[in-house]
Structure 1
Amino acid sequence: MMKLNIAYLACAAAITGAGIGAAPPVAADHMIHVVLPGESIQTAVDAAEPGDTVLLTPGTYRQSVKVTTPDLTLRGMGRATVLKPAATKPATPKAPKAAETCGENGNGICVVGKKDKSIEGVTIADLTVTGFAKAGLFAVGTDGLTVRNVTAVENGVWGIAQERSVRSVFRKNTARDNGDAGLFLANTVRSDEGASDTQGTVVERNLLEGNRIGLTVRRLRNLTVAHNRVTGNCAGVFVVGDENAPRAGALTVRDNRVARNNKSCPKTPRLEALQGSGIVLTGAEDTLVTRNRVTDNAGPSSLSGGIVLFKSFVGTTSVRNRITDNVLEGNAPADLVNTDTGEGNTFQGNTCQASQPAGLC
């Protein structure tokens, strides 16, 4: 009993304290820095060392934060820990420069590596980011980033976004009602380059709902999209490539539930109007789409349908993709749609009622 009490007191001491002062040491001399609403998250993050945790207690934080310390954990205590944009021209002292850089770019949380060295081992967890002009959470140049139990709601562009990163895990997040993609993964957003190897990034068990696109995977290779629920968006899942080498693809989309992505979204300079798209492959190669349940996605777009193969917006065809063992029903204009002229695409073992062209079911 005494050992249990000592363990309990040590744990309690580690998360007790006012302000952002470091708590007493925990295992491996790592510290827990506790932040209360109204205090600066950035100050706590800047004070933390690799291996430390910055713990945000429940409440609303009107600020942004930039993480550049490796092996740092930034976590809240559930959805009631909420980050929103800072109030305009606050009377309080000016925010730290790092937070300004992230917030002035319209983002809530930024995880940023250097040009010549990725930031390793960061975890963002158990909090809500909402109302930011660009992304709720934006990461660039990361290695081994984990984002879990993050709720990203009503952000202007992306809920959660990442570029130039490897070995990431996005698990059990909710991205809802964001202006573009709920979850956006890309090689780079600033230039046209060949697809990059994510070295095994995993996107699993997320809820992506009410966005323009639930999940966009753009110009990437070697990742898995599994067991996600994608519903109520204008389009469910987009795997996007182009003419650059290496080509996008060599990835797996499996065991997802993709239903009723029937919102109507206007066209953009790069993409026609969207409605009723389940899973779309455009300009991709060697991608396996298997064991998904794709239902009731219907619309008038040339990208509408259950699982759709479509040449990219620059005219690059999709090649050697395998569409196998999926269950599809109620999609329109068809459950399976292949308007691509690329070679080696195969459709096998799917349960469906209608296809364009006929004979794919």
Structure 2
Amino acid sequence: MKNSRTLARLLGVMLALVLVGSSCSGDSKDAASKDGGSEAAGDQGASGNTISVPDDQPTIQKAVDAAKPGDLIMVAAGTYKEAVDVETDRLTIRGADRNTTILDGGFKLENGIRVLSAKGVAIENMTARNYTTNGFFWTGVDGYRGSYLTAYRNGDYGVYAFDSVNGLVEHSYGSGSPDAGLYIGQCYPCNAVIDDFVSENNGLGYSGTNSGGNLTIINSTFRNNRAGIVPNSGSYELCYPERETQVVGNLIYSNNNGDTPAIDVALLAMGNGIVVPGGVRNTIERNRVWDHTRTGIGLVPFLEEDANDNLPTEADWDIDCAEQKAKPATAPEDIENPLLWNPQQNIVRDNVVSDSRLADLGIGSVGTDLSDLGNCWSDNEATSTRPKNLQALAPCDGDKVGEVAAEGWDVDELNVASWLAEQDDQPKPKDYKTTPEPPAQENMPDAATAPAEPATNMPPKVDLDAIKVPEKPAS
């Protein structure tokens, strides 16, 4: 961490308080409403300096290079054909208009904006399109925020946070990525919130490999992807398994879209609303899920070939990411290949699920006693389950599985092994470069006048108990 001298820190905080106190409008968040999770909070505050692009600096990259921690970089409407790297803490990078302040990679540049280990960087109110990998990308950071972002026609992910903690992605949109419109991976505890994200026409709406721990997905829409929300475990990234993600109050529908780009995993997962390949201790509740060719909510295994490590024990599930990274590597000759990551101790309750062709609720595995996995289902509004009567077989008792039935798990089983055989029969991936331009998206309120707000004191507090099952949209 870059520590300021005591006097400089006090001056920065005092100036930030003046700025917040003098602001009577805007979409800035009340610092008192946030958890103090981010390490960047110790150096919080904005400097009050604004660098305008192109008036003060001709490019976004030059503005970033000239900026000091706490500065606001204000980017005018226009198309910027550049790939921006950010290594300065606590910058706020904001577009004047979300729909016309556009970073364009021309299908040659890799990332729109990439934040490299810089703490507390917020990116707001702009579009990134036509990059070969990612639109907006934070990697190795403590404290991040993406607000009112649009990412489409990018060759890997739209909005991407990797090996990063203490973050918020809100009021944003991702489309046309072969992997996922939104991805958070390799973090535990992640301490992150996804709020009001729309993901469509991707391979996966959301992907989260080995992420979790105070990771919350709320009030968002995942539609018309190959598959909707897909958190999974695997040793090909660190911090396994995927665990403790809360998926609450979202709309997930029609994720059977064969007219999208797609990686192999998206072909395998196609036709599922929420599917959890090998994830553990997740909570899925009060979502509205409908129109899927396979399952509305499915708990399934992930078969990993050429694994980098053996399966963690249940005791390892409580080890944080930093501790796991420090453990000695397993010798290749001692790794048991392939690995079967089973979904375990997940809670599925109070969801409204309908029009799923295989099952509204389902769990399946291969060569595994499903009753031993510790998953539970209660008070879901659903008309079909596999196995049959799933909610009676393993009801939830508070925040854990209740009394599990000894028999009945083999009645109308979910045959997930057949999905592997069906993978080659799925519609072939489309070229991400042909993804259509999305409709105009909502702009950040008062973008021209709101003060800088670095991503300190992340993530915001969330009142999960206040979230209800969302209504089905009229159209």
Q: Distance in 2 between matches of 1:28 and 1:287?
A: 36
Summarize the Cα distance change of 1:229–1:211 in structure 2 as closer, same or farther, 3 Å threshold: same
Q: Distance in 2 between matches of 1:80 and 1:266?
A: 25
Asked whether the 8 Å contact 2:77–2:95 carries over to 1, the reply is yes
2:31 is equivalent to residue 32 of structure 1:
no
Report the counterpart of residue 249 of structure 1 in structure 2: 243
Q: Which has the higher helix share?
A: 2
TM-score by length of 1: 0.79
CA shift for structure 1 position 360: 2.2
SS at match of 1:242: coil
Asked whether the 8 Å contact 2:179–2:263 carries over to 1, the reply is no
CA shift for structure 1 position 217: 1.1
2:140 is equivalent to residue 110 of structure 1:
no
Asked whether the 8 Å contact 1:242–1:284 carries over to 2, the reply is no
Unaligned runs of 5+ in 2: 1-18, 24-44, 305-339, 392-475
SS at match of 1:251: strand
Q: Distance in 1 between matches of 2:301 and 2:224?
A: 24
Range 235-244 or range 176-185, more displaced: 235-244
Asked whether the 8 Å contact 1:310–1:318 carries over to 2, the reply is yes
Deviations 1:232-265 (A, max 9, x none): 1000000101368752211211111001111126
SS at match of 1:46: helix
Report the counterpart of residue 237 of structure 1 in structure 2: 229
2:284 is equivalent to residue 259 of structure 1:
no
Asked whether the 8 Å contact 2:226–2:262 carries over to 1, the reply is no
Summarize the Cα distance change of 1:237–1:270 in structure 2 as closer, same or farther, 3 Å threshold: closer
SS at match of 2:188: strand
Asked whether the 8 Å contact 2:226–2:267 carries over to 1, the reply is no
Match of 2:386 among 341, 351, 356: 356
CA shift for structure 1 position 221: 2.0
2:141 is equivalent to residue 142 of structure 1:
yes
Unaligned runs of 5+ in 1: 1-6, 12-26, 89-102, 114-118, 188-195, 299-303
Q: Distance in 2 between matches of 1:261 and 1:203?
A: 19
Percent identity, aligned pairs only, is 29
Summarize the Cα distance change of 1:159–1:246 in structure 2 as closer, same or farther, 3 Å threshold: closer
TM-score by length of 2: 0.61
Deviations 1:126-151 (A, max 9, x none): 00000001111111011110001000
Relative contact order higher in (CA < 8 Å, ≥ 6 apart): 2
SS at match of 1:247: coil
Matches within 5 A, 1:1-361: 29-36=47-54, 39-77=58-96, 78-85=98-105, 103=109, 106-113=110-117, 119-187=118-186, 196-222=187-213, 223-242=215-234, 246-264=240-258, 268=263, 272-298=267-293, 304-314=294-304, 315-340=340-365, 341=370, 343-361=373-391
Report the counterpart of residue 96 of structure 1 in structure 2: none
Letter of the 2:287 partner, please give it: N
Q: Distance in 2 between matches of 1:127 and 1:305?
A: 35
SS at match of 1:261: coil
Summarize the Cα distance change of 1:275–1:354 in structure 2 as closer, same or farther, 3 Å threshold: same
Letter of the 1:291 partner, please give it: R
CA shift for structure 1 position 297: 1.5
CA shift for structure 1 position 354: 0.5
Q: Distance in 2 between matches of 1:198 and 1:165?
A: 10
Asked whether the 8 Å contact 2:123–2:145 carries over to 1, the reply is yes
CA shift for structure 1 position 273: 3.3
Asked whether the 8 Å contact 1:202–1:224 carries over to 2, the reply is yes
Q: Distance in 1 between matches of 2:246 and 2:153?
A: 28
CA shift for structure 1 position 282: 1.2
SS at match of 2:381: coil
Summarize the Cα distance change of 1:86–1:155 in structure 2 as closer, same or farther, 3 Å threshold: closer
Asked whether the 8 Å contact 1:84–1:130 carries over to 2, the reply is yes
SS at match of 1:50: coil
Q: Which has the higher strand share?
A: 1
Summarize the Cα distance change of 1:272–1:209 in structure 2 as closer, same or farther, 3 Å threshold: closer
CA RMSD of aligned residues (A): 2.4
Summarize the Cα distance change of 1:245–1:150 in structure 2 as closer, same or farther, 3 Å threshold: closer
Runs of 4+ more than 6 Å apart = none
